[in-house]
Amino acid sequence: MGGHDPGKRESRRYVGDYIINQNDVRTGGRFDDVIAFAGWPMDDHHPAGMLHPGEPTIFHPAPCPWGIPYRSIYSRNVSNLFMAGRNISAPHIALASSRTMRTCATIGQAAGTAAAVAVSCGISPREVGRRSCGCSSSGSWRTTAGFRARSASRASSPPVRRCPASAGDPEMLRNGFDRPIDNDRNCWEGPLGGWVELRFERPVRVSGARLILDSNLARHFNDMRQRSNYALGYKPAPVAPELIRGFRIDYESRQGWKTAFREEANHLRLHRSRFEPVESTAFRFVPETSWGNERVCVFGCDLL
C-alpha cells in the first residue's frame, strides 16, 4: 500500500507449512514445489523511514531468480486459506525480495490455479501440493535434436537422446525448471535453424504449444524497464538479444515434414500458440531468428 492508505505492507502476514528465509533467497530457492520466482534484491528499509538521517535502504544481493515454494502460499492452520502477494509465509528480510508487483502477480496466478484444483477435486490446499487430480497422459515422448540440414537422414532413424556437439541436451525441456539456477542452464541450446524433436510412441492430436523462451532474467532491471515518458535522445530498453523472434512448429506426415505454425515477431518469454489440429508421432520446434544472438535457448516445450 502507498503511504496515504490506512495501512502498510507487512501489516498482515500468515504462516504456511514453510517459512521462506534469507538463506533460501541467497541460495536460489531450490524447492521441489516452486510455483513462482523472484529476483529483486532484499532491500531492507530503515524503520524510521524518511526520518532516518542516513541511507534509507540497505540492499542485500539475491540471485536472479530464486524459487518460491507452494508450501508458503497456503495457511498452516486455516484449512481453506491461500495467501498471495505481500502476505505469504516469509519474514521481513525474505519478503523484501518477493514483494514486487510482478512476483506478487505470479504468486496470485499460482494460488488461483491451486484453488481451482482444490475445489474441483474436493481436497485441501495442502493436499493439492501432495497429489494431483484427474491427470492422464496420451503417451510418453522422447526427444532428439540437431541441425535442420540433418533432419532428412535423422527422421527415418530411431530417436536418440544424444545430440550433435553443436546442440544442447533436449532432455532439459522436461526437467521441470524453466530458468537458469546458478550454473545450471536448464535449457536446450542450439543454433538458429537447428531443431528439437518430440517423438511419441503413437500418433497424438496437437492443436497448440506452450514455449518458455530465454528473455535473460539476469539482466539488470534498468535494462528492462519500459518508461511512460522519454527524454530527448533517450533510447528505449531493447528486447533481450537472447530471445527467439521467429520460429516454426513442424510435424511429420506421410509426405514429409510440414509446418503447423509459424511466428515471425515474438517478444514474449511465455509463448502460447494455437493452430489447426494435426495428428503425428513427431513434432519439431525450429528457431529461425532472434533479436540478436546466433544461438538461442528454450527452457520448456509442451504440446497442447
- In this structure, the answer to whether residues 37 and 88 fall within a common structural domain is yes
- Distance in angstroms (rounded) separating the CA atoms of residues 110 and 156: 41
Band of pLDDT at residue 203, cut at 50, 70 and 90: very high
For cell 518477493, name the residue.
Answer: 98
Band of pLDDT at residue 271, cut at 50, 70 and 90: very high
Integer Rg of the chain from CA: 22
Q: Give Cβ neighbours of residue 25 (< 8 Å, ≥ 6 apart).
A: 38, 42, 62, 63, 66, 93, 94, 97
> Which H or E run includes 94?
helix 92-98
What pLDDT is stored for residue 145 in this prediction? 44
What pLDDT is stored for residue 289 in this prediction? 98
Range of 93's domain? Answer: 22-130
- In this structure, the answer to whether residues 109 and 245 fall within a common structural domain is no
CA distances from residue 235 to 69, 98, 222 in whole angstroms, order as listed: 38, 29, 12
- In this structure, the answer to whether residues 160 and 84 fall within a common structural domain is no
Band of pLDDT at residue 153, cut at 50, 70 and 90: very low
* 172 contacts 145 by C-beta, under 8 angstroms: no
Q: Which stretch of 49-58, 140-149, 168-177, 289-298 has the lowest confidence by average pLDDT?
A: 140-149
Let me know if residue 187 belongs to a domain.
Answer: yes
Q: What is the mean pLDDT of the segment spanning 95-112?
A: 93
- Distance in angstroms (rounded) separating the CA atoms of residues 277 and 296: 27
Tens of pLDDT, residues 207-222: 999 999 999 887 765 5
Let me know if residue 104 belongs to a domain.
Answer: yes
Last residue of a domain, one of 83, 104, 130: 130
Q: Give Cβ neighbours of residue 95 (< 8 Å, ≥ 6 apart).
A: 10, 13, 20, 86, 88
For cell 518458455, name the residue.
Answer: 212
Let me know if residue 4 belongs to a domain.
Answer: no
- In this structure, the answer to whether residues 81 and 214 fall within a common structural domain is no
**Can you list the alpha helix ranges (DSSP code H) found in 188-275?**
none
The three-class DSSP label of residue 165 is coil
- In this structure, the answer to whether residues 180 and 43 fall within a common structural domain is no
- In this structure, the answer to whether residues 74 and 207 fall within a common structural domain is no
Bigger pLDDT: 135 vs 295: 295
Band of pLDDT at residue 75, cut at 50, 70 and 90: very high
Written as one letter, the residue type at 218 is A
- Distance in angstroms (rounded) separating the CA atoms of residues 97 and 93: 7
What pLDDT is stored for residue 154 in this prediction? 32
Cα-Cα-Cα-Cα dihedral sign, residues 8, 113, 98, 244: negative
Q: Is the pTM of this model over 0.85?
A: no
Band of pLDDT at residue 226, cut at 50, 70 and 90: low
Mean pLDDT over all residues of the chain? Answer: 83
The total domain count for the chain is: 2
